[in-house]
Amino acid sequence: MPIDNDYFKNRQKQSSNNNGGNGNGNGGGYEPPFSMPEFKGFGKNANLIYGVIIFVAIMFFARPFVIINSGEIGIISTTGKYEKDPLYPGFHLFIPVIQKIFIVDTKVRVINYKSVEELGNAKDSGILVNPAITVLDARGLPVSIELTVQYKLMPDGAPSTISTWGLSWEEKIVNPVVRDIVRNVVGNYSAEDLPTKRNEIAVQIEQQIRKNIDSLPSKPVQLLSVQLREIVLPDKIKEQIEKVQIAKQETQRVTNEVERAKQEAEKAKAVAQGEAEAKMIEATATAQANSMVAKSLSPQLIQLKQIEVQGKFNEALKVNTNAQIFLTPGGSTPNIWVDAKGKSTQSAINSK
């Protein structure tokens, strides 16, 4: 499309008329169509202001700077080559077009291995959700393992890690190792043994995953923990385990009842034996007491008792002259004293 120069011709004529046609002015009175605005009062500093404005515009549109937050590091790529030293949290400048800054997360990250029906849940920042790990047990039966792995990228070696493994480093470092170790460990057990040996399996999985990741060159990743959350067994295996558990519980119940009956029988036996022994001890003690009494009744002791009794009768006769004494042969008390009234006294009582 041809450019219409009438505007410029009219501006030139107008300028020539204003100068009185004397040819003075700037090149015949021509003025450019656009002119920079003048900053009154700044004089020579106007160029400096223009420079600042241009610099701010470049900074705004080109954005040759980056701000790295805590828990992140920056990796500089200069003409496609990664720099060895990472950029730590703070304000950093770079050369646009020539350099690029890749920000990488160095906070704790999590991979959750879940069942298929749970994969639709929302993902939080730093949390990956992968399908549960399917493993064949020692007999070839499928078993699903759900677990959680916590790890983080080592900041100092991050540029080398990204250069070697790429930005999807965790899918190339952590995920394959976890799946391989879980299959190797769980595959050595039968499905029926998995619930009872859960702790043993969890320890083996964590130890072997840690060993494999720590053995990588430059140790790009730090493994924090591995938690075995769930062992999902096939329905048939669950039914068999339930039947076995019920049988074990019934056997244990019967065993407990037999043990309880045995304890009660032993207790009754002990009680009866104790009572018999108590009676035997009592009889023995009584026999020993009687024997001791019999041994203590010597002829001299019996004669002494007779003298004591005779003395008591003699004292009683002094007071009660109407007493009657019946003599009995032998024994410890040969005399019997009866306090009775005489005939005269008795007849006097009857006459009254």
- Residues shown for the chain: 352
Task: Assess whether 173 and 219 both reside in one domain.
Answer: yes
Residue 291 inside a domain? The answer is yes
Q: Are residues 213 and 320 in the same domain?
A: no
Per-residue confidence in pLDDT tens, the chain, 352 aa? 444 445 545 555 555 555 544 444 444 454 555 455 555 555 566 667 777 777 777 766 667 778 899 989 999 988 888 888 899 999 988 888 888 889 999 999 999 998 865 554 445 567 888 999 999 888 888 899 999 999 999 999 899 999 889 888 988 999 999 999 999 999 899 888 888 899 999 999 999 999 999 998 888 999 999 999 998 887 777 777 777 777 788 888 888 888 888 888 888 888 888 888 888 888 888 877 777 767 666 676 667 777 777 777 777 767 776 666 655 555 545 555 555 555 544 444 344 4
CA distance 3 to 8: 11
Residue 39, in any domain of the structure: no
For position 150, which CATH number holds?
3.30.479.30
Domain end call among 233, 254, 282: 233
Local structure of 77: helix, strand or coil: strand
pLDDT score recorded for residue 348: 41
**In the numeric block, which tokens belong to residue 29?**
């009175």
In a domain, 343, yes or no: yes
Is residue 157 in a domain? yes
Q: Which of 188, 209, 193 is nearest to 136 (CA)?
A: 188
As a dihedral over the C-alpha atoms of residue 38, residue 42, residue 45, residue 49, rounded to 10 degrees, the angle is -60
> What pLDDT score does 192 carry?
82
The answer as to whether 125 is a domain residue is: yes
Residue 315, domain member (yes or no): yes
**Domain closes at, from 254, 269, 296:** 296
Residues 115 and 206 in one domain: yes
Number of domains composing the chain? 3
Q: Are residues 257 and 276 in the same domain?
A: yes
Are residues 247 and 329 both part of a single domain? no
Count Cβ atoms within 10 A of the Cβ of residue 185 and give its class: 0-12 exposed, 13-18 middle, 19 or more buried.
Answer: buried
Give the pLDDT of residue 107.
92
What does the alpha-carbon distance between residue 348 and residue 311 come to, in Å, rounded to a whole number?
Answer: 32
Same structural domain for residues 167 and 270?
no
3-class secondary-structure state, position 48: helix
- Alpha helices, H only, the chain: 6-18, 46-62, 158-165, 169-186, 198-214, 235-296, 299-319, 343-351
Q: Do 256 and 144 reside in the same domain of the chain?
A: no
Closest CA to 195 of 164, 224, 237, 160: 237
Say whether both 249 and 313 belong to one domain.
Answer: no
Confirm if 229 and 148 have CB atoms less than 8 A apart: yes
Find the domain containing 280 and state its range: 239-296
Query: 245 and 175 share a domain?
Result: no
Interatomic CA distance for residues 190 and 188, integer angstroms? 7
pTM above 0.95, yes or no: no
Residue 138 lies in a domain: yes
The Cα 147–Cα 201 span in angstroms is: 12
Domain end call among 233, 248, 269: 233
Whether residue 48 lies inside any domain: the answer is: no
Furthest C-alpha separation in the chain: 203
Q: How many CB atoms sit inside 10 A of residue 124's CB?
A: 10
Whether 229 and 274 map to the same domain: the answer is no
296 HSE (CA, 13 A, CB side): 7
Residue 290 and residue 221 in one domain: no
Looking at the structure, tell me whether residues 162 and 190 fall in a common domain: yes
